A and B are shown apart, each in its own frame.
Chain A
Amino acid sequence: DAKTTQPTSMDCAEGRAANLPCNHSTISGNEYVYWYRQIHSQGPQYIIHGLKNNETNEMASLIITEDRKSSTLILPHATLRDTAVYYCIVGRVGNEKLTFGTGTRLTIIP
């Protein structure tokens, strides 16, 4: 699976959009980009995933660059409950495992 690079930490003001970047320059054509988050003392929670088109669901939007070498997770109106570690994961459909890095610790500031 391709490796990902994320900033170690980020802050965002409550009510603003939180934009979390992820670099995956070695991604292959059949690999998806997944985002999970882990709130303190809980198991990881699925957020969204995509292949090459931008995706949106009730939690977030995923913007993938045209060359697929990077992506951005957008939380449109961050709340205090969005404070968590966010993991960007690249994986091939048909693979059985998620390969987590160390993620980005996002802190929402009141």
Chain B
Amino acid sequence: ETGVTQSPTHLIKTRGQQVTLRCSSQSGHNTVSWYQQALGQGPQFIFQYYREEENGRGNFPPRFSGLQFPNYSSELNVNALELDDSALYLCASSLDRVLGETQYFGPGTRLLVL
């Protein structure tokens, strides 16, 4: 158990819809990162939030957006869903934003877009 939780565990949406995924970080961890993992692939970095500000972004379009709240929770929002957005979405919390700090991953939310 990493102390990082995500909800929901599974979700089915249709193309064009919007989705919000939620993550609850370990208490005291002021950094949260989001990753997308397609079937058979390693996780791909979407973005990171540090003290409620975006602190780095991977190669994902602006329809992927996020929020981080003072209570160590965060959201990943995806607009205009596409079929290729079907994946496991992982959040990871860490004590600080630098790579040297261990990242603790949640169990993920599996999204299916039809």
Residues on A lying within 8 angstroms of B by beta carbon are 32, 34, 41-46, 49, 87, 91-103
- Chain A neighbourhood of B33, CB < 8 A: 96-98
Structural contact, A99 and B45, CB atoms closer than 8 A? yes
Whether the pair B56, A97 counts as a contact (CB closer than 8 A) is yes
Mostly, the B contact residues are loop
B90 touches A98 (CB 8 A): no
Task: Indicate the size class of the contact surface on chain B.
Answer: 20 to 34
Q: Which of B65-73, B76-84, B95-103 contacts A (4 or more CB under 8 A)?
A: B95-103
Flag B82-114 by CB within 8 Å of A: 1 or 0 each. Answer: 000000001010000111101111111000000
CA distance A87 to B44 in the complex (A): 13
A42-B108, A96-B48, A97-B56 known; 9 new pairs, CB 8 Å cut-off, are: A41-B107, A44-B105, A87-B42, A96-B55, A96-B98, A98-B45, A98-B92, A102-B40, A103-B42
A43 x B42 contact (CB < 8 A): no
For A42, what are the chain B residues with a Cβ–Cβ distance below 8 Å?
107-108
Q: Which residues of A contact B106 (CB under 8 A)?
A: 43
Tell whether, in the assembled complex, residue B41 and residue A98 are in contact, meaning their CB atoms are under 8 Å apart.
no
